[in-house]
Structure 1
Amino acid sequence: MDRVVRTDLDGRWFGTGHSTLTDPAAAGDEAAAAAITGADPVAVFVFCSVGHHTAEMLDAVRERVAADTVIAGCTTSGQLGGGTVSGDGVVVAAWGGDGFAVRTRVSRNIAGRLRDSGVEAASCLAAVGHPHRALLMIGDGLAANQHDIVRGAFSVAGAAVPLVGGCAGDGYAYERTYQFHGGRDGVEILSEAVVGVAIGSDAPLGVGIAHGWRKTGSAMIVTSSRDGRVHELDGEPALDVLLRTLGLDESSLDDGDAFRHAAFLHPLGLSRRSGEDIRLIHDWDRSERSLICLADVPQGALAWLMEADPGSLADAAGQSAGQALDMIGGRQALGALVFDCAARRLTLGDDGVDRENDGLLTAMPTVPFAGFYTNGEYARVRGALGMHHFTVVTLALA
């Protein structure tokens, strides 16, 4: 079947566009032309590979928006749009019509003040008074302790407002990521920033969160940790515990890429009432014998090493989309944004990514969707938690 790229329900519309043209300006124009087919877009999201993040690309998008359109986005480690994935290119998602309100706030120079940056980014919620609200955040994917951003946002949003979004990537280089914020009169290309987008709607908004991982082995207590650095598990050096559990010896640390791949396949799962939050083991300190994650691993937490087969990992995408659709109470979905972990893309490989996209298409056969592969996912339906890795997050709009 031909992929749906636009819906129109009672004057509300949602469209997506995906371009892999090598010229950034041409790619931006092609993706925007496909996505922005309705009058007066309220919000336009632009997700692109590093190299396509040029002023010329964003100028091409700006030429197609209205005077009060919000433009937000970032660089990625892969784009999702139209049921396909690209490593290099541009994806645009846009919506408009009656009953929507979108307001933004950008927090700059966030290093060393992550909690305050979350407060600043979330402050845009005050300008949205619709019956259904969500806070979407786009952060710098290289910021340490990203959970502090969530804590700051939570202090503003409270426990009831859903939280979604993702952290920018740079094609797995882990050098510098970029965030976009602006409108028709100009779009800033930023680093070390968090963009908060308050979404208000007269119709329901749905959030889905799924990862496909399952526990393996015995539960462990995080006996010593600070932020995302785990020093001890069950009173032993955390790196030693991981090596033993994976059946590896000290020499395996000599090949950093190979060991990192093994660690990717066995992230930490933290016990939560709704399941497990996944913490990607991103690095390690050989002298300290510690493990380094990109989000908090609280001391005293109950944790397991996790495992997954390619099927269960890929199927999580469809599960996430299904949860988001369930939350809108049986209404026809207008469109969806998808935030998928970049480490999942590496782990799944091409065949797994195809299966993952098939799951999204099966769950949302008549719903246009677009998104990107992130360096971390923001997602919370209720409660104070909301930082994830190795997870697929879906926002559905009715």
Structure 2
Amino acid sequence: MRAEFDPTGTVAGLVEAVRRLHVDPTVHAALVFAADGNNLPTEAMHAAITASPLPLLGGIFPAVAYRSKSHERGTLVVGLDQLPDYGVVGNLSATNTAFERSISAFTDDWPDKPRDTTYLVVVDGLAARISDLIEALFFSLGLEQNFIGGGAGSLSFRQSPCIITPEGLHEDGALVARLAVRSAIGVSHGWHPISRAMTVTESEGNRVRTIDWQPAAELYAREVFAHGGQQIDADNFFSIAKSYPLGIARYGAEVVVRDPLMMNEAGEIVCVGEVPAGCPIRLLNGDVDTLLSAAGNARREAITTRPQEAIDTALMFDCISRVLFLGDELGRELYAVGAGTPIHGAFTLGEIANSGRDYLDFLNKSIVYAILD
């Protein structure tokens, strides 16, 4: 796969990157990973996407990666040798959206499955029912093929159109695309439990109301103070909470990490993705070394399925809160996951992955490394 990068983050830069790919007769569509820092008017972006000579699929993310560097401004465009089958699930936050029905509305019309298949899923990372969608994808599409992707959106935590399809920009929705490529995937996070076991006793979507029947924000603040001595409140919540995610226990597998975004006036914790009532949780913590080790683990997990083959194209979906946590050490993580091979991809609001044999999950604070060929 051939990649082009526009560092200007302008509409003209996107158009030019697409033009450079379009002159290649082997390129028939493209993935687009645009940085939210481009701050482009929705109307202008929508017009450029719909007028593109190549069908475009992707999203607008907090930041993007190109050649193992993070860019808060710029647009990565990755050429594909054929147009993927794709569809959009709308109303991702609505309680009455029947996801399996929405998925079958477009997958029923897809042609027979290619021999090599990888599903790309890009969701509005601030939607309230992402985990419900992921569960519906599992029931609709199974686990025979790999899934990769992540949450698009802005660190302003305000929803806006962030999903890209040939029809333009979409808000509060999800792109599901079937790529005719083989893939090998590794996933890891590097966060470890530091609290007692607790139970989510009340929640709604991505809002945790009570933990052990106590107001979630109050209990969370006490646990954070007990571990690190930091007083957390609504004003400094995200800057401290990025070091203290929630971990949802899973039988026989790594915990699923949930990223707390804010505490609201009702004393709830708002997370990236759902935290179901009744699930056991613990507070997690990590440091630079554990996160760097996890990045290397993700790469090793992927290459164990194809150790004798050269890596032609690799995509990474890395949680933006890892970027904020690592700060100046981010370059070391990108080197750890790439091992000298240039890394392209997106820094996301949550990650989506499985390896064709494990759980399909919506993850937080994790890194997904996918080798495509």
Shorter-chain TM-score tier: 0.7 to 0.9
Unaligned runs of at least 5 residues, structure 2: none
Aligned to 1:205: 183
* Deviations 1:90-128 (CA, angstroms, capped at 9, x unpaired): 1111232xxx77211123344416853465347438435
Match of 1:46 among 9, 15, 32: 32
Cα 1:227–1:56 shift into 2, 3 Å: closer
Check whether the contact 1:124–1:198 (CA below 8 A) recurs between aligned residues.
no
The answer to whether 1:376 aligns with 2:359 is no
Check whether the contact 1:310–1:348 (CA below 8 A) recurs between aligned residues.
yes
Aligned to 2:140: 156
Distance 1:360 1:60 in 2: 35
Distance 2:169 2:332 in 1: 34
140-149 or 50-59: bigger deviation: 50-59
Aligned to 2:165: 181
Cα 1:393–1:22 shift into 2, 3 Å: closer
- Note the C-alpha offset of 1:82: 1.4
Cα 1:55–1:194 shift into 2, 3 Å: same
Q: Percent identity?
A: 22
Match of 2:72 among 87, 90, 113: 87
Distance 1:114 1:48 in 2: 31
Aligned to 1:131: 115
Pairing of 1:1-398 with structure 2 (within 5 A): 14-30=1-17, 33=20, 38-50=24-36, 51-52=39-40, 54-55=44-45, 58=48, 62-63=52-53, 65=54, 70-96=55-81, 102-112=84-94, 116-117=98-99, 120-121=102-103, 123-124=106-107, 126-182=110-166, 187-201=167-181, 204-247=182-225, 252=231, 256-272=234-250, 273-287=252-266, 289-328=267-306, 330-349=308-327, 351-362=328-339, 365-366=340-341, 369-381=343-355, 382=357, 385-398=360-373
Cα 1:237–1:25 shift into 2, 3 Å: same
Amino acid at match of 1:379: A
* Deviations 1:59-79 (CA, angstroms, capped at 9, x unpaired): 69934x4xxxx4201111001
- Count of residues paired in the alignment: 363
- Note the C-alpha offset of 1:309: 0.4
- Note the C-alpha offset of 1:87: 0.6
Which SS does the other structure have where 2:120 is aligned? strand
- Note the C-alpha offset of 1:390: 0.8
37-46 or 305-314: bigger deviation: 37-46
Amino acid at match of 1:389: N
Distance 1:192 1:342 in 2: 19
Check whether the contact 2:128–2:274 (CA below 8 A) recurs between aligned residues.
no
Amino acid at match of 1:245: E
Which SS does the other structure have where 1:217 is aligned? coil
Check whether the contact 2:337–2:369 (CA below 8 A) recurs between aligned residues.
no
Cα 1:232–1:268 shift into 2, 3 Å: same
Check whether the contact 2:234–2:263 (CA below 8 A) recurs between aligned residues.
no
Check whether the contact 1:233–1:241 (CA below 8 A) recurs between aligned residues.
yes
Check whether the contact 1:44–1:92 (CA below 8 A) recurs between aligned residues.
yes
Check whether the contact 1:223–1:232 (CA below 8 A) recurs between aligned residues.
yes
Check whether the contact 1:225–1:299 (CA below 8 A) recurs between aligned residues.
yes
Query: How high is the TM-score relative to the length of structure 1?
Result: 0.80
* Deviations 1:30-58 (CA, angstroms, capped at 9, x unpaired): 4763x667532244111112424644884
Distance 1:171 1:259 in 2: 14
Distance 2:205 2:7 in 1: 38
As a proportion of its length, which structure holds more strand? Answer: 1
Cα 1:355–1:348 shift into 2, 3 Å: same
Distance 2:214 2:271 in 1: 18
Aligned to 1:11: none
* Deviations 1:1-42 (CA, angstroms, capped at 9, x unpaired): xxxxxxxxxxxxx12222212533125414763x66753224
| Root-mean-square deviation (Å) | 3.0
Distance 2:23 2:191 in 1: 39
